[in-house]
Chains A and B, each alone.
Chain A
């Protein structure tokens, strides 16, 4: 079974491809949705197309599937009538599958299931990475703000942090935002960099 993955994120495509190979599929092609990707897909004549719903090129793909004379069998979106929640899960995860006419449902479902799981895992990974980045940036800001308070007000490190925290609590803001404001103000007043 030939599977094409249309995804703007090369990293996610690779993660999905690995998963499919582990599951025993070996005829897999990643096709980024840029340039003449529709013509490339047409030449590939895949049995299954997994497409990232975030790409605006999905309408172009559907048009090719509707009019292509090069494809020997029509390809349509995979819809399992008995399980509409699966389509909901696929849309939530941001992936959709197109399959050739006549391909058995029980052969397609595990592929889409796997795609949904990998897409979700990728999204979680990205959120965690983003959170880690924010946490690191926040800590740097707080350290700098503490240093400013220690230098300008002669506070001990623990007291500088307490002051930042109390101010944040009183104003209903995040400590990092208070720290950020302090850094900006100090820079504008020509204080220590």
Chain B
């Protein structure tokens, strides 16, 4: 058995790692997976960078930021496997939400109108709205910026973005320290269940197939241990398929609810797994079957174009300087080549290409695959923009300057 330690934060999308250990998928590949639950993204990053763990559950933008030297000590990080797609929600205090469409589900269904309504509500609120984000390099923060920017809101000027750990968001909302937050599940569901806030937007309706957490490895370790990496990826592929099967949802929710995993009630965790989320207390749940994907549609495949999209947003918001070598380094964090090597000949169909247009699919599309059929789901951005990785400079230049 090869021991591998993996650091994670208590979030619903750590499911694949937890299932890989608990359901024996890691053991079947000869891996003794040790789960290290942590309290902050900075800790997860440091444990990985300084070799205390070999793998980590990590925000995709943070993996890129560490590689580019934008988050403390620089280190080349490789992400050969995505741990899921989507899974976020924007929750506002009932007071701020009241300035939006009075029908809660309409806010979710029409993110365009909600973005404009939110922009109009900023000036009417009793203070500059304070929105909690989990990290400056979080997938949700990038998505929030994209959504606000569409409505002409400058996220660095017109609202205050405040970094708070996901587990403290609900408490901060209760104390009135923030007016809303964007974070991974189960925290929005917890806030709704406690009657403290209302979900006004979900990630899946802002970017239908948004990048979220990745399996992060140190590049040097990954290159030195190819055979172990392949076994780890095979175990995670099987675990992801298990997590995605609706028949396993009750067992998965129960597993995640355990105190050493997420430690929140199974019925709250189930809401994100099933895509049936109550968005405000007393409201019928919305139905969002693509709220969180674990495996279907090659969800774990690290499209290099998606790493480049994240980089484009770094440049757009001044989080990184435009630079050809940084662009290449960012694309290289998503290691589709390692994914292919590890899962070649396995049961999961994989796409023939490693880059694609992001946001171009309005309907499901069957694409070229090594075996069987692979159907990619619709991946539109809510504003209809399409990201062509070959035209990244035009894409960035096409956004209205907000600073």
Query: Measuring CB to CB, which residues of chain A are less than 8 angstroms from any residue of chain B?
Result: 53-60, 62-63, 66, 76-77, 79, 84, 87-88, 91-92, 96
Bound together, the chains give a CA A92 to CA B43 distance in angstroms of 11
Bound together, the chains give a CA A96 to CA B167 distance in angstroms of 21
Instruction: Output the least CB separation between A61 and chain B (Å).
Output: 8
**B165, A63: Cβ atoms under 8 Å?**
no
Sample of 7 further A-B pairs with CB below 8 A, known A56-B168, A62-B163, A79-B72: A56-B39, A57-B164, A60-B165, A63-B136, A63-B163, A79-B73, A91-B46
**B52, A53: Cβ atoms under 8 Å?**
no
**B136, A66: Cβ atoms under 8 Å?**
yes
Question: Does chain A have a CB within 8 A of B51?
Answer: yes
* A-B CB contact pairs (8 Å), 15 listed: A53-B39, A55-B40, A56-B165, A56-B167, A59-B41, A59-B134, A60-B162, A62-B72, A66-B136, A76-B72, A77-B46, A79-B72, A91-B43, A91-B47, A91-B52
Bound together, the chains give a CA A105 to CA B348 distance in angstroms of 51
**B39, A55: Cβ atoms under 8 Å?**
yes
Q: Give the B interface residue count (CB, 8 A).
A: 22
Question: Does chain A have a CB within 8 A of B22?
Answer: no
Question: Does chain A have a CB within 8 A of B135?
Answer: yes
Bound together, the chains give a CA A91 to CA B39 distance in angstroms of 13
Bound together, the chains give a CA A84 to CA B73 distance in angstroms of 12
Q: Which residues of B contact A92 (CB under 8 A)?
A: 52
Instruction: Output the least CB separation between A29 and chain B (Å).
Output: 21
Q: Which residues of A contact B164 (CB under 8 A)?
A: 57, 59-60
Contact of A53 among B43, B134, B165 (CB under 8 A): B43
Q: Which residues of A contact B135 (CB under 8 A)?
A: 59, 63
Question: Does chain A have a CB within 8 A of B344?
Answer: no
The closest CB in chain A to the CB of B138 belongs to A59
Summarize A's interface: helix, strand, loop or mixed: helix
Q: Which residues of A contact B165 (CB under 8 A)?
A: 56-57, 59-60
Query: Measuring CB to CB, which residues of chain B are less than 8 angstroms from any residue of chain A?
Result: 39-43, 46-47, 50-52, 71-73, 134-136, 162-165, 167-168
Bound together, the chains give a CA A66 to CA B319 distance in angstroms of 11
Q: Which residues of B contact A55 (CB under 8 A)?
A: 39-40
Q: Which residues of B contact A59 (CB under 8 A)?
A: 40-42, 134-135, 163-165
The closest CB in chain B to the CB of A94 belongs to B43
Q: Which residues of A contact B71 (CB under 8 A)?
A: 62
Q: Which residues of A contact B163 (CB under 8 A)?
A: 59-60, 62-63
Bound together, the chains give a CA A176 to CA B195 distance in angstroms of 45
**A88, B73: Cβ atoms under 8 Å?**
no
Instruction: Output the least CB separation between B64 and chain A (Å).
Output: 16
Bound together, the chains give a CA A54 to CA B136 distance in angstroms of 20
Contact of A77 among B52, B73, B134 (CB under 8 A): B73
Bound together, the chains give a CA A91 to CA B53 distance in angstroms of 11
Bound together, the chains give a CA A63 to CA B168 distance in angstroms of 16
